[in-house]
Chains A and B, each alone.
Chain A
Amino acid sequence: MHAVEIEGVRKTFGSTVAVDGLSLAVPTGSVYGFIGPNGSGKTTTLRMIMRIMHPDQGDIRVLGENATEGEAASDRVGYLPEERGLYRKMQVNEVLRFYAELKGTRDCQRDIDEWLERLDLAAYKRKTVEALSKGMSQKLQFIATVLHKPRLLLLDEPFSGLDPVNQEVIKDAVVAMKRTGTTVIFSTHDMDVAEKMCDFIFMIFKGHKVLDGTLEAIQSKYGADTIRVRLANGGVDFMKLPGVEKVNDFGRFQELRMHPGADPQGILRQLVSITRVEHFEIAAPSLHDIFVRIARPQEQEAGHA
């Protein structure tokens, strides 16, 4: 059973193609991560799932309903847009009631109080929204998204702009929602979060799907072509080592990408002959690395144009 099924979807705005040939199946109860550079079609895809927009071609089914017809999503879906959408002059409690009622919920005061307590906003219940900080309004928006106990939760960059403490609070809330059987789709630029939280990862680039699957499946496609090393002294020109294609220098350690078929043992021998090696690890590429590999060449082309 799938919470969301997308089949051959295409969406254009004037002459720009936002999404093309997109197919996707989100299993019920899973956490699905949407990644991709800015402007690649993530938000458009989420808006189409929400029925705020309709695709030009293709089919979308959400919780078993045809989402290419009608306007406005089912009340069983919750949506957190990328930017805060709150009436600045309304009180926190009022805003929450209003959004919950719009989703057909009645008598939600107890849930409101519980969530405010849980996300550490109880003291602001009677304050107007404009008195809240950015992080607080982000949390408030999150509550507004989940108050009606949605079966499908769409979160557009839920962690952006939050400090680590609040990030963790929201993360815990998302995980708790998942435990109750809610399907969660969220977009993020934080590859670390995506790696740790998502059962499936989906990458969209220039309107096309480029990755889709579990983290392991995605990584295995690239093989163990990455070496992480830490040396006692610097001063080694890694590009001169045999079989090294690319170096990503993090300062305290370096990530080397090997040519296909290169011999990591040869690289290790070379390094040992030059300096003291403190750490040497053969690994699958990180999601971050995979993201950059896909997105960067195009960006450079664009830069030269």
Chain B
Amino acid sequence: MRKLLIIAKREYKATIRTKTFIIAIILMPVLMTGGIAVQALSEGRVEMGDKRIAVLDRTGKMFDTLREAVEKRNTDEIYDSSGRQMQPKYVLEEVAVIPDKVDDQLLKLSDRVRKGELFAFIVTSPNLLNGGAAGAASATIQYHSNQPTYEYVRRWLSGIINDRVISVRLATAGIDRKVVQQAMTPVSVENLGLLERQASGEIKAAEQVDQVVTFLVPIAMLMLMFMSLSITAGPLLNSVLEEKMQRIAEVLLGSVRPFELMFGKLLGYVGVSVTLVAFYLTGGYIVLRHYGYADVIPPHLLAWFIVYQAMCILMFGSIFLALGACCNDIKEAQNLMMPVWLILCIPMFFMSVILQHPNSPLAVSLSLFPPCTPMLMVLRMAIPPGVPAWQPLVGVAGTLLTTLICVWAAGRIFRIGLLLQGKPPKIIDMARWVIRG
């Protein structure tokens, strides 16, 4: 037992101190929230040069509307409260229609876009502002540009033109636009929980369902477990490969039993993952408290999370160690681990389905399939209304049994694999080692 702890302590210290681990622990949340951060940062960092847009208005009545809208936009809408310009100005250019030579005109405009004199040009069909059925059927607006991914200009123009078109159509049909607007205003459905009778006998009003609690917490818990496993997998594998290839294993096996060695390493990694989770949870708690969500994770959920998290590391960690012990380099090990990673990713694949239907037969049976239990049971428990009380208990029993089998089998493979040189064994060889010992 003492030797086991000495191994665990060394493993823990060696992992926590590696640069890769420190970088990973910082980088992982950056990668996960990076997208949002980058978007937030790049907001307002758009190109500010004027966008020149030509309008070939075949209705003859649209240009004035557009010009007014552009003027309003350029003076009012593109500045933030401090007066800083946030969006480029639009500059419109009216092109008079030459009836027989429209194609030539369009070609010329295209050339001007290519030369950079124009940003884009727009063509409206002659019947655009006709009311009635005939106008609605065949009216078109054509937007030409050589930067199809820049959507702002097209969307903005579309909004302005359609607004005008709808007004004209309503007017032609003799309907007041205000009436339509009032009629079409939707009524929102409040998302509420259930009412409760309090101890004092009063009925407690239902609370608003909080989007953060219902979606963010379950997803965050699943992600955190997956992350702690994937961050520790690398160092785990590297350390067993180092011990094998540097012949450290031979010295160690002269002092400790192979199972002690493997289990000591596993305990070290449970320690590492607990450190990792504590780091993220503390960080998460500080952020949540800042936004007034300090109590979104109920303590019992946290306790279950830690139990499942430890079992998850033991279960998959022992498999990683056994496979690592059979390989000569990280590449071989990664090949061998491919199927394990696929199983590990099942909870990720089914996350969104289970979020929608947390108590469907699929969700229940997947969350009772031991390799998926830790992540999926925690996910389901975090989604209101939670799960029946027997499910987490059965889940723990199944996972515990599987974990014990994994650790035991891995111990047998580990012992033989560690002293083996040359080509890595096949799965069938490993199965034989497990059975024969």
Contacts and interface: CB of A to CB of B under 8 A. Distances in A.
Interface of A: 47, 50, 52-53, 70-73, 75, 77, 79, 81-90, 98-99, 101-104, 141, 144
Given A102-B255, A102-B256, A81 B10 contact: no
Given A72-B254, A85-B250, A90-B14, 20 more contacts: A50-B253, A50-B254, A52-B250, A52-B419, A53-B419, A71-B253, A71-B415, A79-B250, A79-B251, A79-B254, A82-B247, A85-B248, A86-B248, A89-B18, A98-B6, A98-B10, A99-B255, A104-B3, A141-B251, A144-B251
B257 A77 contact: no
Nearest to A80: B251
A81 B242 contact: no
B75 interface: no
Contacts of B27: none
B254 A101 contact: no
A101 B419 CA distance: 23
15 contacts: A71-B257, A71-B259, A72-B257, A75-B255, A81-B247, A81-B251, A85-B249, A85-B251, A86-B246, A87-B248, A88-B246, A90-B14, A102-B3, A102-B6, A102-B7
A87 B254 contact: no
Contact of B255 (A53, A83, A103, A141): A103
B2 interface: yes
B199 to A, nearest CB: 57
| Overall SS of chain B's interface | helix
A99 to B, nearest CB: 7
Contacts of A70: 257
Contacts of A81: 247, 250-251, 254
Interface in B173-224: none
Given A86-B246, A87-B242, A88-B242, A102 B252 contact: yes
Nearest to B258: A71
Interface string B289-301: 0000000000000
Interface of B: 2-3, 6-7, 10, 14, 18, 242, 246-260, 415, 419
A16 to B, nearest CB: 13
A85 to B, nearest CB: 4
Contacts of B256: 72, 102
Contacts of B249: 85
A87 B246 contact: yes
B120 to A, nearest CB: 59
B326 to A, nearest CB: 16
B170 to A, nearest CB: 76
A218 to B, nearest CB: 30
A70 B259 CA distance: 11
Contact of B254 (A77, A83, A88): A77
Closest 6 CB pairs of A and B: A85-B251, A79-B254, A85-B248, A85-B247, A83-B247, A102-B255
A5 B323 CA distance: 36
B421 to A, nearest CB: 11
Contacts of A77: 254
Given A79-B251, A87-B248, A101 B242 contact: no
Contacts of B251: 79, 81, 85, 99, 141, 144
A83 B419 CA distance: 13
Contacts of A82: 247
A208 to B, nearest CB: 23
Nearest to A89: B14
A150 B251 CA distance: 14
A152 to B, nearest CB: 11
Nearest to B259: A71
B316 to A, nearest CB: 24
B335 to A, nearest CB: 24
